[in-house]
Structure 1
Amino acid sequence: MADPIKDTRRMIAEMQPRLHPGKYVFCSGIRDDLAADVANVAKGSFVEDEGMSFIIPQEETDRLGIAGGVAMRQITLMVRSALDGVGLTAAVSSALATHGIPANIVAAARHDHVFVPADRAEEALAILLARQAEAQVGS
């Protein structure tokens, strides 16, 4: 596997955003009796000072009877960016913010994952592809 990319322009030029099917909800305040079920279906979780937060498929909120928040779609940036690389998330959030699209970015070991409102996901993908193309021209 190739080494992670640290160069800002190259990370953007090679980000290859991919929109996933399905919708996700960020949730917290899960009752103790549901915690194990939620953890088993979670796309991601984080321990915050106030307790656990989860990213779970929207259909699971219905099944488990959990109050859902904003329905989000996941866009994965397929570039293998370095954890200490600078500028990729700033470029992504800035490009989306210019169009009024919120971006909830989760960095994992291999890729960054951008959660955007479901009703604007296709638009967000097009914006990120255009930003990638701009960076490629600057090569």
Structure 2
Amino acid sequence: MGGERDLSRLLKALDPKLYPDRYSFSAAAAPTLRDNQFALIREEEGLTLIGPDPSGEWARISLGVHSSLEAVGLTAALSLRLTEYGISANIVAGLLHDHLFVPWDRRQDALDCLRSA
């Protein structure tokens, strides 16, 4: 699997992609991930489903850089950068890429912020 671990190289190669769909986070009754859903997260209190939703309040930005799960500081650096712009973010790490969910109305600001490294 590999992936980049060096923070400076990661930040230079973010290659963020903004998806056109709106997303929502919702409680799920059963552990079923449909084809169009993005993620299912199991917590002690229950299941959270992240998926496309025409009335969703979140935009998805996926990073093109292949980051290692063992990379140190990427989430912190992205959070700090977005904090400087006053943008909240929920970050979900996959095996190969990181995905940020930002407020729909701030999606372009977030994309610009991530591109301005």
**Residue 23 of structure 1: how far off its partner (Å):** 0.5
CA distance in 1, matches of 2:29, 2:77: 37
- Partner of 2:77 in structure 1? 91
CA distance in 1, matches of 2:109, 2:45: 33
- Partner of 1:52 in structure 2? 47
- Partner of 2:60 in structure 1? 74
Q: Give, as a single letter, the amino acid of the residue that structure 2 aligns with 1:120.
A: R
Question: Which ranges of structure 2 fall in alignment gaps of 5 or more residues?
Answer: none
CA distance in 2, matches of 1:19, 1:31: 29
User: What does the per-residue CA deviation read over 1:88-133, in whole Å, with 9 as the maximum and x for residues that have no partner?
Assistant: 11111111011110010000001000000010000100000002xx
- Partner of 2:98 in structure 1? 112
Q: Larger Rg: 1 or 2?
A: 1
**Residue 31 of structure 1: how far off its partner (Å):** 4.4
Percent of pairs identical after alignment? Answer: 38
- TM-score calculated relative to the size of structure 1: 0.77
Structure ranking higher in helix proportion: 1
CA distance in 2, matches of 1:89, 1:31: 30
- Aligned to 1:85, the other structure's residue is in SS state coil
- Partner of 1:126 in structure 2? 112
Q: Are 1:4 and 2:42 an aligned pair?
A: no
- Aligned to 1:81, the other structure's residue is in SS state coil
- TM-score calculated relative to the size of structure 2: 0.91
Q: What is the count of residue pairs matched by the alignment? A: 116
